[in-house]
Amino acid sequence: MISKYILERLEQNNVKNITSLSNVIREECQKIVLYALAKTNFFNNVAFYGGTCLRIFHNLDRFSEDLDFAVTSDNANLNLDEYMPQCINSLESFGINAYITTKESYDKGEIRRRYFKIPFYNIAKEYLNTEINPEQNLSIKLEVSTIYVPNAKYENKLLTSPAFVNVRCYDYQTLFAGKLNALICRNWRSREKGRDYYDFMFYVSHGIKFNISYFKSKLSLSLNKDCSNLELKDIKEMIINRLNDTDYDSVKKDIIDFVDNKETLQSIQKELFISAVDLIECC
């Protein structure tokens, strides 16, 4: 049975269809996992960043899928399995059945990851009286980058639901710097990660400056070369080169299920994006 807490969130979001239901359930589960992690020592050596951080703490007007974290020191020693029981217990306390999937490969390389799987059939049946594939799960990927990148700045942000707790995050300017690096460097082979482009416009429209010191550190790591001498004009040129090489139909396709207001997709045009580059400032 759907808990009162989850039911209230569904009603507040005026959920009427499967896509909206999955987005809201996933987001509430993300918040519950953050709440659970914040009650441990997880954030002693780790900070929250990425699109979900932007959504939860800065009111990004699109839904997000993953929980992304990065270590905040060179010698962070992280065992994700130490924190998973707390997360599962918290989800269950709010009426969400969930389990975790992992593989040996998820603990090798730069990224550590776990997947929360949430059976969706009963939720869809109870709330929308809709039949879906009984095997369908909602998935939340939790990733921690274990490579320390210097020059990030952090802040504690107050998570207000499901309960008050502080979450250590990249600050707004460092978040933007990370997004610019992703926009320039991310390669999804046959399609674009449209969420990078959507978030880019969100930062620009809110007048956020980016942390150029962190950006140079992150770009140096991504490109495996020294980028410390880059100036703002050089960075803008890199962004424009990427924007000129973008498939904007693919951008729209990637994000259409994550935005409620489909009219915002009309602003996804090359000319508008390139014009926005002039507005970028650093700090």
Of 170, 185, 212, the residue that ends a domain is 170
Strands laid side by side in the 111-119 sheet: 99-101, 111-119, 137-145, 67-71, 46-49, 165-170, 154-159
The Cα 256–Cα 240 span in angstroms is 24
Task: Let me know whether 139 and 60 are in one domain.
Answer: yes
Based on its alpha-carbon atoms, the radius of gyration of the chain, rounded to whole angstroms, reads 19
> What burial class does residue 85 get, using C-beta atoms within 10 Å of its C-beta: 0-12 exposed, 13-18 middle, 19+ buried?
exposed
Same domain, 58 and 191: no
Q: How many domains does the chain have?
A: 2
Q: Is the pTM of this model over 0.85?
A: yes
Q: What is the pLDDT of residue 191?
A: 73
188: tokens are 């999804």
Specify the pLDDT at position 76. 67
Same domain flag for 152 and 191: no
Q: Are residues 83 and 164 in the same domain?
A: yes
Q: Which domain holds residue 181?
A: 171-283
Residue 183 one-letter amino acid: L
| 64 and 196 fall within a common domain | no
| Residues 180 and 141 both lie in one domain | no
Would you give per-residue pLDDT tens digits along the chain (283 residues)?
A: 889 999 999 999 999 999 999 999 999 999 999 999 999 999 999 999 999 999 999 999 999 999 999 999 987 678 999 999 999 999 999 999 999 999 999 998 899 999 999 999 999 999 999 999 999 999 999 999 999 999 999 999 999 999 999 999 999 999 999 999 999 998 765 678 899 999 999 999 999 999 999 999 999 999 999 999 999 999 999 999 999 999 999 999 999 999 988 898 999 999 999 999 999 999 9
Alpha helices, H only, 110-171: 121-128
163 and 241 both lie in a single domain: no
Widest distance between CA atoms in the chain = 59
